[in-house]
Amino acid sequence: MKTAEQYEESLRQLHFKVYVQGELVENPVDHPIIRPSMNSVKATYELAELPEYEDLMTATSHLTGKKINRFCHLHQSTEDLIKKVKMQRLLGQKTAACFQRCVGMDAINAVDSVTYEMDQKLGTHYHERFVQFLLNMQEQDWTVDGAMTDPKGDRGLGPSKQADPDLYVRIVEQREDGIVVRGAKCHQTGALNSHWILVMPTISMTQEDRDYAVSFVAPADAEGIFYIYGRQSCDTRKLEGGDIDVGNKQFGGHEALMVFDNVFIPWENVFMCGEYEFSGALVERFAGYHRQSYGGCKVGVGDVLIGAAALAADYNGAQKASHLKDKLIEMVHLNETLYACGIACSAEGYKTASGTYLIDLLLANVCKQNVTRFPYEIARLAEDIAGGLMVTMPSEKDLRHPVIGKVVEKYFKGVAAVPTEYRMRVLRLIENLTLGTAAVGYRTESMHGAGSPQAQRIMIARQGNITQKKELAKAIAGIPVQG
């Protein structure tokens, strides 16, 4: 396994082509806007080195018997699925941000079972190619970015019917030695902190869209791949040099547009090439795993937000107010409900044909449906408890100013025993988690990450088995089964 320092050094060896606010960046690792997101991924390596977290952060490879980082592991039991959720909560607590590595873990688990079933039915050799990649991933302790979401263009049209055919990633050429792909993937979490990209189709494809039914891996800095970094609210505060106004100076997350400009993929790295009938299963399983993930990571960040709100009440001198106590209880209740869903869909998981365990898809979608709602209410309650000063407070430079700093210190103090700076710090943290850069990985991502709310409702309708429930009601009511 890589150490945290080895991980950072490995990123420095890559040659990314990335644009940030219109400028080509030569050194993404140390760029002040990108660096906090790298620190979050680095924490997944750092915690894996600590004995107290070994049980959650590491696993035993079913391929080699070696100890590996859990993010490189294929789930071999429901216990593995549960430990995944607990690990994600831990990392959310430690970073209060998106630690980005979940997407790749969810992708490898989905690709494993689908390629196995594809080979069994079609006589292809995708699974053995995938296993070879997985062996290398585990041996090198790579961070892999799972890439699923295409730009999509006109949502009323399928991939092959778009005015611009590149709005979904597609195969533009098949050669003796591999394929050439073109297109883009949007909202790519942690792309610039990854060693490899694992691409999957974004929707269930039809025969006429077979060129878009493609899955493959590519080095994150492969020739023809470039990135346009996404904006986040308050992101330029990271350029100011202070740390209070950022709220969370050390950790963060990032998203990017990933563009494939005629990228060559050798056959050994191709896991689907036109087998459109398996695209739906791959999308469904990846989405299910990733919706499970939100029952861990968002809960861990929620723990930090609840703690920050409680501190704000303390620093405001309002901690004894019964209505604030009740709001904190409600925040805990909502947060633990999300966690319960993540654990439940894991405990009800089952073994697929390849041996990898899949979560209960219905419960995973219920988990994510709750995530589209509860973090918004948790954030609202935190803002309520914090008070209006959270969004009207002067800057850190004002606090440090030789003249007006004393005025800021005097008039923005809450409880006399608590330094004004501490009060400002916790309010900025709440702002960061609910409105700032961390909100991208907490509040807004809770809505659209792993699919929009309607995507989960479609799956809930599909998995909910209303017909069987009707039969249960008939039996109790004494209605003939065929009636």
Catalytic residues: 98, 102, 189, 255, 290, 294, 297, 445
Query: How far is Cα of residue 475 from the mean position of the Cα atoms in its chain?
Result: 43
Q: Which two tokens stand for residue 180?
A: 């050439």
User: Within 13 A of 148's CA, how many CA atoms are on the CB side?
Assistant: 23
Residue type, 50: L
d(CA 31, CA 29): 6
Sign of the alpha-carbon dihedral angle for 349, 350, 353, 355: positive
For the chain, the 3-state helix, strand and coil shares in percent, each to the nearest 5, are 55, 15, 30
For residue 303, the surrounding DSSP H or E stretch is helix 279-316
Letter for the amino acid at 385? Answer: I
CA distance 446 to 433: 12
Burial class (CB in 10 A: 0-12, 13-18, 19+), 155: exposed
Measured distance CA(443)–CA(300) in Å, rounded: 13
CB atoms within 10 A of CB 120: 12
- If we measure between CA atoms, which residue out of 210, 159, 189, 240 comes closest to residue 428? 240
Nearest alpha-carbon partner for 354 in 138, 148, 114, 135? 114
Beta bridge partners of 350: 358
Angle ∠(126,128,130) on CA atoms, nearest 5: 70
